[in-house]
Chains A and B, each alone.
Chain A
Amino acid sequence: MPKTLFEKIWDLHVVVEQKNGPTLLYVDRHLVHEVTSPQAFDGLRMNKRNVRRPDLTFATMDHNVPTSDRSLPIIDQISAKQIKVLEKNCKDFDIELFDINSPNQGIVHVIGPELGITLPGTTIVCGDSHTSTHGAFGALAFGIGTSDVEHVLATQCIWMEKPKTFEIKIEGKRKNEHAVTAKDIILSIIRHIGTAGGAGTVIEYTGETISDLTMEQRMTICNMSIEGGARAGLVAPDEKTFAYLKGRKYIPKNYDELVDHWSENLKSDPGAHFDKIFTLHVDTISPQVSWGTNPAMTTDVTSIVPFPEEYAKGNQDEEKAAIRALQYMNLKPGTPITDISIDRVFIGSCTNSRLDDLIEASKIVKGKKVSSKVRAMIVPGSQLVKKQAEELGLDKIFKEANFEWRESGCSMCLGMNPDILVAGERCASTSNRNFEGRQGAGGRTHLVSPVMAAAAALAGHFMDVRELDLN
């Protein structure tokens, strides 16, 4: 029987299968960070258990690290403690840690691929919902809670109900690839399927547009699979995938052999059955801007803030949610998106903080200045991204335009470190969640692509980047 890519990876990782009940799957790579792991290590100690495969476990600190001068001590004592606890746990259990001073430190979903820890056909878990990012390499990668972090540390396995399959075909050619980005594609998808549209499924992204995208762009798309409710999102690996990983620090010695194996096996068979299918045509999509408090509350930059009744299409719960969202966002229905002024700009996060993202944003910014009303910051996804960007002189372009150029981490995507919005501030953000208070209590987040965020920083309000000459 023809199988989907997901089913092939799943089958290859089954350790125990039961007639009724979940399957025990083997985990090839376990990524650990400071926020969702302390209680898991505590549990191990309490039960006198060990880490089964420290060699398959990698840790970094990203969620609450400051992005200011790294030579200074961390002022927030509770954050400092969480970081100390991770250091101790990694030392006690013999786990490799990319700490705050490591040249490999960065957002866990940025450094996994860039170090070659992420590999096609593998299973990857992490106590973070954006683990779906690694699916861009044809890995089955998903977020887990802390109890499961403890379980994987102890057993290198995880119990899981087999998810259903969801094919999202992305077809067509974008008219302007620099203006209509991978971020706009995934926001369009979520806008159509809803925040629970992918619940209970693993998505496989297929179609000609996906093949055209770079690895970094595929990561942006897989990253936000969770925002559509799916635990994981996958793209079948191809030449781009293999070329991206070749020569990276942690790839296995028999990499070339593995590539032969992967290119033969890691794709959905013709005629494989998907439980659900959705097709997005990208020919006519516009740059996207979220207006509400979940990622499905998104519209075209050329459009207006919607009227709740029209948005909800008869669903009373959605209408109530939209009314509440507009109240929180302090927006009036009918306002053109381009009339919305902003106070802050954040370019960063595991969605959009890679070199490609910074290069694209720098093209908009070069030789211009951030609006005097706006405070804008760039937070590279990793120390390596930062270094590469500096080698290209991007830091100078951004700094000359009055952007803050910062150290790597999750930063204002979730505001666990000092980078937060003040209540009432409005932010154009390249991150993945516009939930109430996500970037700081009372803060208002609009999700956009890096080029849209850069353009908004200069203009002081949203604008259609297609109006700029990006070539």
Chain B
Amino acid sequence: MEPFKTIKSIATPLDKVNVDTDQIVPKQFLKLVQKTGFGQYLFYDWRFTTGGLPKEDFILNNPKYRDSKILLTGENFGCGSSREHAAWALLDYGFVVVIAPSFADIFYNNCFKNGILPIKLDNKKIESLFKTNSEIEVNLENQTIIVPNETISFDIEGHRKKTLLEGLDDISITLQYEDKILQYEKSRIVS
């Protein structure tokens, strides 16, 4: 995984609550057996007409946000299915930061496994971001979001921050505990 670097970009405002992973990647695109190439399917049914043409009124189709790396959205983002394809699609499309008042648990977890930073911010701070029209800077090291005239700080669990900043692979970390796992396996009561 790539180490997470400071991100400077305009934020795409997707003003919806309870955006579920079925919307992030509709199920007809879950049949690929690799992790790449899902960006073209991101928010597919919202982004394209049944004929496959871009829907002009959908925010991602606004040229202003074409190179945006930051997605700004509402409560409970990523609810529903556990499909990691949702994280892969966001990343493949170009989003590396998602800012919302809250996230669904599995999605939140999946973000960190793929180098995406999900930031939980209270509604008031989010509202001010929704009003910002210029570039914002997300600095994970300092845990800050810098908007013109304002610096907003955010919380993140220390170990998650470390994982992202160093681009660590969970499995290598776990394998260092091999002796503990073996020891545990000897004590199991259900075979």
Contacts and interface: CB of A to CB of B under 8 A. Distances in A.
B-side interface mostly: loop
A196 B82 contact: no
B64 interface: no
Interface stretch (B90-98, B133-141, B148-156, B177-185): B177-185
A423 interface: yes
A469 interface: no
Interface string A256-270: 001001000000000
A294 interface: yes
Contact of A42 (B26, B33, B159): B33
Interface string A289-327: 000001000000000000000000000011011001000
Given A47-B171, A148-B109, A196 B28 contact: no
Given A49-B171, A258-B189, A416-B28, A195 B18 contact: yes
Interface string A19-52: 0111010101000000110110010000101000
A195 B17 CA distance: 11
A15 interface: yes
Of the candidates B22, B31, B80, B87, the one having the most CB atoms from chain A within 10 angstroms of its own CB is B31
Interface string B48-89: 001000000000000000000000001110011111100100
A125 to B, nearest CB: 10
A26 B158 CA distance: 23
A54 interface: no
A76 B27 CA distance: 14
B33 A144 contact: no
Give chain A's interface residue range (CB within 8 Å of chain B): 35 or more
Contacts, number: 177
Contacts of B27: 414-416, 438
A163 B106 CA distance: 12
A147 B113 contact: yes
Interface residues of B, number: 52
A76 B184 CA distance: 44
Nearest to A64: B31
A234 B132 CA distance: 44
Contact of B45 (A16, A121, A437): A437
A199 B104 contact: yes
A144 B106 contact: yes
Given A49-B171, A252-B190, 13 more contacts: A35-B30, A36-B83, A63-B30, A82-B31, A145-B109, A146-B35, A154-B175, A155-B174, A155-B181, A156-B185, A196-B102, A435-B22, A441-B50
30 contacts: A16-B177, A20-B159, A24-B180, A35-B30, A39-B34, A39-B35, A79-B31, A82-B33, A129-B81, A145-B106, A146-B84, A148-B113, A151-B174, A155-B175, A157-B177, A161-B157, A195-B76, A195-B79, A196-B79, A199-B76, A252-B190, A254-B191, A258-B189, A317-B75, A433-B20, A435-B22, A436-B23, A437-B45, A438-B27, A441-B45
